[in-house]
């Protein structure tokens, strides 16, 4: 049994808890929280909830600690810190800062004989894998990543910070014509605006200036100004009824050419359609927790990404079983 600890019990932590239940070779041993543990009610019976500060004391009871904090402030500190006591897995997703995160975590993990798998999930994660495999197989071609249709937490939060907004939900939507152009093999150059649209459902305070709110959203730099954005005002009841899920997904497409004169075209497409973004992310993380544990048993140490881990480590099946049933 692989003994798992969860650091942080929000949407992602709960997703990890659910995923562990689907993997019979794993058991949840503890949840750690920055809240008062007495106020945190988890789903699994009989599993203790501790204060985050107590984690290091439990290092002999846990094989892999899964870090469920955010990429902005939690993980840059936590992953390296806990890699001194545990094999760890995180879903650090600030793409531009992955190289420095890797270096920091690698040093800590190597120094303590632990395996740390960073930036798992689906992007970075499964999407990254597909970008790598596809470009290695078709070195001449173009890569396209589309996200959605799905809820962007960051964009929803940005709308909520606008004066007069009570709540909001933002969907990122890939443009169907752009997808079709890519699938045709035409290798189009696509602007930000051509790839995705943004759809916002906003609950406004009574009497708020809706025109101003809409303008503030549509002109917000980085978040909305470069996109065709739709804003719809709805009631709190409608938001709760129609937009309470956290779906997401997307597409990674490689369009490439082979042949002596590059006369043949090929399209490799990978897509995800997810009812729950945090639960799917959790499912990927848990598979990499298995890999971290097994690599650790073999004596590996240091920081790894999805690129560095042979696929067989993710599966509970043996090499013989995999060759007989899945190859």
Among 7, 272, 289, 300, indicate the residue that binds a copy of itself (CB under 8 A): 272
Sheet holding 26-33, edge to edge: 49-51, 26-33, 2-7, 64-67, 87-89, 115-117, 302-304
Residue 242 CB, nearest approach to a copy of itself (Å): 17
Q: Which stretch binds a copy of itself (CB under 8 A): 49-57, 78-86, 97-105, 229-237?
A: 97-105
78 vs 130 by CB, closer to a copy of itself:
130
Segment 285-304, which members bind a copy of itself (CB under 8 A)? 287, 290
Contact 24, 49 (CB under 8 A): no
49 vs 204 by CB, closer to a copy of itself:
49
280 in contact with a copy of itself (CB under 8 A)? yes
Residue 104 CB, nearest approach to a copy of itself (Å): 13
195 vs 248 by CB, closer to a copy of itself:
248
Q: Please list the residues that pair with 293 across neighbouring strands.
A: none
β-bridge pairing 141-147 and 248-258: antiparallel
Contact 227, 196 (CB under 8 A): yes
Q: Tokens at residue 144, please?
A: 């396209």
Residue 170: which of 112, 234, 116 has the closest Cα?
234
Sign, CA dihedral 300-305-309-314, equals positive
Contact 284, 122 (CB under 8 A): yes
292 DSSP assignment: H
314 in contact with a copy of itself (CB under 8 A)? yes
Contact 9, 68 (CB under 8 A): yes
Torsion-angle region of 195 (φ positive above 0: left; ψ -120 to 50: alpha; else: beta): alpha
Instruction: Provide the mask over 15-34, with x wherever binding to a copy of itself is found by CB under 8 A and - wherever it is not.
Output: x-xxx-xxx-----------
Neighbours of 81 (CB within 10 A): 16
Among 207, 221, 259, 299, indicate the residue that binds a copy of itself (CB under 8 A): 259
231 vs 253 by CB, closer to a copy of itself:
253
Q: Which stretch binds a copy of itself (CB under 8 A): 30-38, 74-82, 165-173, 309-317?
A: 309-317
Among 149, 183, 193, 294, indicate the residue that binds a copy of itself (CB under 8 A): 183
CA angle 121, 126, 128 (to 5 degrees): 105
Among 52, 81, 267, 294, indicate the residue that binds a copy of itself (CB under 8 A): 267
269 in contact with a copy of itself (CB under 8 A)? yes
Residue 136 CB, nearest approach to a copy of itself (Å): 4
Q: Which residues bind a copy of itself (CB under 8 A)?
A: 15, 17-19, 21-23, 43, 95, 98-99, 102, 119, 124, 126, 128-133, 135-140, 183, 258-260, 263-276, 279-280, 282-284, 287, 290, 305-312, 314-316, 319-320, 322-324, 326-327
């Amino acid at each position: 049994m692989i003994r798992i600890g969860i650091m942080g019990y929000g949407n992602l932590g709960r997703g990890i808890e659910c995923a562990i239940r689907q993997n019979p070779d794993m058991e949840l041993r503890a949840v750690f929280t920055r809240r008062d543990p007495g106020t945190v009610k988890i789903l699994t019976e009989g599993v203790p909830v501790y204060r985050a500060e107590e984690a290091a004391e439990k290092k002999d009871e846990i094989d892999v600690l899964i870090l469920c904090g955010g990429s902005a402030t939690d993980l840059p500190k936590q992953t390296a810190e806990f890699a001194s006591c545990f094999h760890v897995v995180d879903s650090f997703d600030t793409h531009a800062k992955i190289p420095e995160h890797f270096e920091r975590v690698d040093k800590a993990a190597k120094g303590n004989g632990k395996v740390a798998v960073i930036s798992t999930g689906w992007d970075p994660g499964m999407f990254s894998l597909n970008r790598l495999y596809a470009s290695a197989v078709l070195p001449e071609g173009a890569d396209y990543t589309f996200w959605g249709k799905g809820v962007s937490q960051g964009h929803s939060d940005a709308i909520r910070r606008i004066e007069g907004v009570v709540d909001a939900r933002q969907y990122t939507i890939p443009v169907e014509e752009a997808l079709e152009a890519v699938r045709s093999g035409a290798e189009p150059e696509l602007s930000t605006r051509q790839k995705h649209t943004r759809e916002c459902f906003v609950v406004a305070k009574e009497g708020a200036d809706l025109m101003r709110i809409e303008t503030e959203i549509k002109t917000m730099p980085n978040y909305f100004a470069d996109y065709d954005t739709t804003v719809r005002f709805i009631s709190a009841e409608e938001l709760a009824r129609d937009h309470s899920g956290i779906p997401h997904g997307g597409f990674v497409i490689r369009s490439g050419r082979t042949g002596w004169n590059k006369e043949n075209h090929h399209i490799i497409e990978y897509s995800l359609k997810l009812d729950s973004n945090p639960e799917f992310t959790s499912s990927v993380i848990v598979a990499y927790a298995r890999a971290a544990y097994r690599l650790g048993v073999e004596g590996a140490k240091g920081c790894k990404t999805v690129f560095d881990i042979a696929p067989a480590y993710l599966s509970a099946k043996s090499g013989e079983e995999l060759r007989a049933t899945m190859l």
